[in-house]
Amino acid sequence: MDQECRRRLTVRPCHADNFEPAARETIQYIEEKRLPQMPVRLDGREQAARDRSLNDFPKIHHSQYTVSLVKILGIETSCDETAAAVVEDGKRLLSSVVASSMDLHVPYGGVVPEIAARSHIEVILPVIHQALDEAACTWDDIDAIAVTYGAGLGGSLLVGVMTARTLAIALNKPLYAINHVEGHVYANFLTETVLPGYTLRAAPPQFPMLAIIVSGGHSQLALFRDHFDYTLLGQTQDDAIGEAFDKVAKMLGLPYPGGPSVEKAAQAGKPIYTLPKAKMPGYDFSFSGIKTAVLRLAQAEIGESYDFPSTKLPERLSEAQKANIAASFQRVAIETIVDKANRACEEFQPKSVVIAGGVAASAELRRQLTEALLLPIEFPDLKLCTDNGAMIATLGGFKAMRNQPAADPYSLAVEPDLSM
């Protein structure tokens, strides 16, 4: 690799120190694999290089998108999952590799940003490599790279974005910057795969489409009129629903992540307690109140006052009490989402409803939606609900096929607070 390329890759994009190890490893990887060397012009005219990479992408014209094959490598590192996948034509899943640093965070009861970022650096290249191998692709087969640039943890996002930028520059591929939350929605557009163990829907969802986005960081309802044309109907004004699951799990002494462990505990209990539902205007949500209500309920159940510390609750609550509290919380938290989704269906009459994000794995959510909604709803495969590269590659595919602007690989910055 020539000296100027090396200088630019190691010096220019260094907004944070965390980036350097990832860049060095990426460069080493490219050299080891004897990948094509920097076909992009390096005369300092960044705009020219960017225009060139856009114009060099032959398959993004509207008239061609139904016939051309567009293979996208998707990279996702917004939180604790390092993920990469290859998706063809925004619908065909060729590979999906996810490495999670979850186990390292369990002792702390939540994701530790520094540990997550370090772990991304360690595994991102093997994960990308494996995604290419499993898809039986070489770099030549990949038409573009899509990467999550927000929202998420800054250090975590940096590793994915800097790796993707480096690869896009070195391999002269268009780069698509993906909003993580929009990405979650696009897990629903995967309809074909030969990979074992996936159950995908038969056809993509139709527009107008109501998207229920429920994850560790988001609780949102969005109405999509078409690709890249949506309105955010409402969102949480404080905690996200997944965050509430995680915090309630902690109060009950259940392991992190809270969603699955609350769900498991709830199976042994009954929703016998009444918990309040936040009354929020329009389609907005609030989940901080129910968290406090659960705390007060647990304190009352063991006959203690409001100042009894939540950390001591697990040792005082019986297994039956924990199960019943879990079941009651789960029922009400999910009802809050389903009530508003139902109202949105009545008001906007969408042709399809999709769920997205980690909480979309909840069996209670699936049960309540199936019962409450008038139109039939298809659920994404559980493996595609939590963070993955496939959803990022899928949205990247639509961006490529629909001629959406590509990102500048020399300047794409992470946006930890990116919203929809």
- Tell me whether strands 209-214 and 219-226 are parallel, antiparallel or unpaired: antiparallel
Residue 267 Cβ, how far from ligand ADP at the closest point, in Å? 11
Shorter beta-carbon distance to Mg ion: residue 98 or 353: 98
Q: Which amino acid is at 81?
A: E
- For ligand ADP, give the closer residue by CB, 79 or 159: 79
Beta carbons of 280 and 220 less than 8 angstroms apart: no
Range list of H helices, 56-205: 102-105, 113-134, 154-171, 180-186
Task: Annotate 201-239 with b (16+ C-beta within 10 A) or e (fewer).
Answer: beebbeebbbbbbbbbbbbbbbbbeebeebeebbbbebb
| Helices 241-251, 288-301: inter-axial angle, 10-degree rounding | 20
Residue carrying structure tokens 């009894």: 308
215 contacts Mg ion (rule: CB under 5 A): yes
Given the rule CB under 5 A, which of 240-248, 271-279, 383-391, 409-417 is the region that contacts Mg ion? 383-391
Q: Which does 148 bind (CB under 5 to 8 A by kind): ligand ADP, Mg ion, none?
A: none
The binding site for ligand ADP (CB under 6 A) comprises 79, 215-218, 242, 245-246, 257-260, 263, 357-359, 361-362, 386-387
**Least distance CB 362 / ligand ADP (angstroms):** 3
From ligand ADP, Mg ion, none, interface partner of 263 (C-beta below 5 to 8 A by class): ligand ADP
The distance of closest approach from Cβ of residue 245 to ligand ADP in the complex, given in angstroms and rounded to an integer, is 4
Q: Which residues contact 100 (CB under 8 A, 6 or more apart)?
A: 80, 81, 82
CB of 111 to Mg ion, least distance (A): 11
245 binds, among ligand ADP, Mg ion, none (CB under 5 to 8 A by kind): ligand ADP
Binding of residue 81 to Mg ion (CB under 5 A): no
Output 73 or 361, the one with its CB closest to ligand ADP. 361
Take residue 42 and report the two structure tokens written for it. Answer: 């390096």
Residue (216 or 380) nearer to ligand ADP, CB: 216
Our CB check for Mg ion shows the closer of 53 and 215 to be 215
260's contact among ligand ADP, Mg ion, none, with CB below 5 to 8 A by partner kind, is ligand ADP
What the block records as the tokens of 8 is 């630019």
To ligand ADP, the closest distance from the beta carbon of 255 in angstroms equals 11
Distance, in Å, from the CA atom of 157 to the CA atom of 41, rounded to the nearest integer, reads 27
Part of the chain binding Mg ion (CB under 5 A), chosen from 105-113, 252-260, 279-287, 382-390: 382-390
Which of residues 89 and 387 has its CB atom nearest to Mg ion in the complex?
387
CB atoms within 10 A of CB 319: 10
Query: Which residue has 């019986």 as its token pair?
Result: 318
Instruction: Give the footprint of Mg ion on residues 384-403 (CB under 5 A).
Output: 387
Decide if residue 76 touches Mg ion (CB under 5 A).
no
Q: Tokens in use for 252?
A: 């009950």
Cβ-based nearer residue to ligand ADP, 155 or 257: 257
Helix axes 113-134 and 154-171, enclosed angle (nearest 10): 30
DSSP 236: B
Identify what 38 binds: Mg ion, ligand ADP, none; CB under 5 to 8 Å per kind: none
CB of 129 to ligand ADP, least distance (A): 23
Residues paired with 31 in a beta bridge? none
Q: Kindly state the smallest distance separating residue 416's Cβ from ligand ADP, in Å.
A: 12
Q: Of ligand ADP, Mg ion, none, which one sits near residue 359, judging by CB under 5 to 8 A according to partner kind? A: ligand ADP
Q: Which residues of 250-276 are buried (b: 16+ CB within 10 A; e: fewer)?
A: bbbbbebbbbbbbbebbeebebebebe
CB of 359 to Mg ion, least distance (A): 10
Tokens of 23: 């860049």
CA distance 408 to 149: 12
315 token code pair: 């040792």
Taking the least distance from each CB to ligand ADP, the nearer of 49 and 157 is 157
- Select 115 or 295, whichever has its Cβ closest to Mg ion: 115
Between 176 and 245, whose beta carbon lies closer to ligand ADP? 245
Radius of gyration of the chain (CA): 22
Residues found near Mg ion in the complex (CB under 5 A): 215, 387
